[in-house]
Amino acid sequence: MTRFDKSLVWFRRDLRNFDHAALHHALKQSRSVHCAFIFDKEILDALPRKDRRVEFIHASVVELDAALRRLGGGLIVRHGFAAEEIPRLAAQLEVDAVFGNHDYEPLAIARDAAVARALHADGSAWSSHKDQVVLEKNEVLSQAGKPFSVFTPYKNAWLKELQADEVHYLNAFPVEPYATNLAAIDAAERIPSLAQLGFEKTNLSELGIAGGMSGAQAFLDDFRGRIGAYARMRDFPAIRGTSCLSVHLRFGTTSIRGLVREALNAMRSLEDGNGAASWLSELVWREFYFMILHHHPHVAERAFKPEFDLIRWESGEHAQSLFCAWCEGRTGYPLVDAAMQQLNQTGYMHNRLRMVTASFLVKDLGVDWRWGERYFAQQLNDYDLAANNGGWQWAASTGCDAQPYFRIFNPVTQSEKFDPEGRFIRRYLPQLAKMPAKFIHAPWLAPSMEAQQAGLRHGADYPFPIVQHDEARKRTLARYAIIKPPSHSAHHKE
């Protein structure tokens, strides 16, 4: 094992001081370890001045700094271009190495390569470690030694690999036993305020979303009591059926190894382990999309299946008009509109609704999936390139193991199935609050007397549908026929 006199740990999407691969290895290999976080202008300068993610990160950085100080260290925080600030800080501190955790996004990989080159030129080493996934890159391959492109065999191979050496893959990377190697922070070091970074407070605290490790732990503690019901409840947006940990996974205020251990322990201890098994499957989906991005980085810009790039989407002012209606939640389909209101108001969207809204944009409105992908990237608190891209390409039938192109969600039947009483719809579309449940999924079908009693003026208080689903479905089948002519399977509906 290489030994260093002084090292620097660069925190990125791993904002915790426990079970942290880079911090663990740096402390074990170094006499003295400094810690740093960069508010990267390369990313922040492109964001609106009110962004929940920046506020979440800021709160998490403040908490991380306090936690490191209790261990005898602290966090050096800078606001600048990370590719410049890290080599500069390494030179100022005269460190022998910079430690970080792997990132899998193309731009981040290029940034890290630039940092590594700059460090090497100055005589310092770059040491990167696996941390945000359990299994990565080539650790799960088919028997032919190829990356998987279908989820179920990937999941089976993932589970088999994990079971072969669970201790190796899931053991935590302890920090506290080596904390005496943390370098004390200069008393003059201060974390810039949100305002000093050029950002304003959002409604994050009003939404009950707390950043940092304590926020992650609170959500995990709450979910432990509900994990057994996860498989039954996870598809109903009006119910608190999911873990709500996605934003914490995104920014690393919790440990993926710890969450997988939680799932496995629940599977073994609960009388009905189906809920925990279903949750574990979702964690594996996350790793599947990381693997796809690693092996097929072109998905960040184009379809996983190149032939789907031939599809001709709606264009011009008509497409812009449809897209704006979708973004603003005024399509005339209540479940779609309520979901978009949830996204716009909270930065969160329930996973079932991500599928429904994506399918609607692509297959009812005929709008390029990349438009929706970019909008989600702007709005989602838990935005992650791999998962977001994978989800959109799944819905658009352009990705690996995607739903067949002829599988087109019916927004009304989805609403009736997953929000039967309209509780979720009423929460985000108050103009429909008094509409009887039997009409709330398709209010344009309500007789005038029913609408009047509900205080709804058709077309004024709530829009008529901007497309007719059955007609839009036929257009979609024709649009995708360039790839494969519709067969008898094209009559499948959901």
Arithmetic mean of pLDDT, 180-191: 94
Distance CA 407, CA 468 (A): 17
Arithmetic mean of pLDDT, 36-47: 97
Does residue 369 carry a catalytic annotation? yes
Neighbours of 61 (CB within 10 A): 21
**Residue 322 identity (one-letter amino acid):** L
- pLDDT tens figures, 319-352: 999 999 999 999 999 999 999 999 999 999 999 9
For residue 367, pLDDT over 80 is answered with yes
Looking at every residue in the chain, the average pLDDT score rounds to 95
User: Exactly one of 10, 126, 392, 394 is catalytic; which is it?
Assistant: 392
Domain-wise residue ranges, the chain? 4-131, 133-172+213-295, 306-483
Q: How confident is the model at residue 432 (pLDDT cuts 50, 70, 90)?
A: very high
Q: Tokens 């791993």 belong to which residue?
A: 14
For residue 285, pLDDT over 70 is answered with yes
Closest CA to 132 of 13, 241, 232, 293: 13
Containing H/E element for 470?
Answer: helix 469-480
User: Exactly one of 313, 314, 416, 444 is catalytic; which is it?
Assistant: 313
User: Exactly one of 285, 326, 371, 394 is catalytic; which is it?
Assistant: 285
User: Exactly one of 181, 265, 344, 351 is catalytic; which is it?
Assistant: 351
User: Exactly one of 369, 381, 389, 410 is catalytic; which is it?
Assistant: 369
Arithmetic mean of pLDDT, 385-409: 92
User: Exactly one of 136, 139, 161, 282 is catalytic; which is it?
Assistant: 282
Distance CA 443, CA 454 (A): 10
- pLDDT tens figures, 294-303: 999 999 999 9
Arithmetic mean of pLDDT, 440-453: 93
CATH number, domain 306-483:
1.10.579.10
Proportion of the chain above pLDDT 90, given as a percent: 92
Give the CATH fold of the 133-172+213-295 domain. Answer: 1.25.40
Does residue 126 carry a catalytic annotation? no
Distance CA 212, CA 64 (A): 7
Contacts of residue 288, defined as CB under 8 A and 6 or more positions apart, other chains included, come to 148, 151, 154, 155, 158, 390
Arithmetic mean of pLDDT, 177-197: 96
pLDDT for res 272:
74
For residue 493, pLDDT over 80 is answered with no
Arithmetic mean of pLDDT, 220-247: 96
pLDDT for res 484:
61
Q: How confident is the model at residue 488 (pLDDT cuts 50, 70, 90)?
A: very low
Q: Would you state the structure tokens that stand for residue 40, as one six-digit string?
A: 């990267």
Arithmetic mean of pLDDT, 109-125: 98
pLDDT for res 2:
77
Does residue 158 carry a catalytic annotation? no
Distance CA 199, CA 282 (A): 33
Give the CATH fold of the 4-131 domain. Answer: Rossmann fold (3.40.50)
State residue 213 phi and psi, 5-degree precision. -65, -35
CB 492 within 8 A of CB 407: yes
pLDDT for res 492:
37
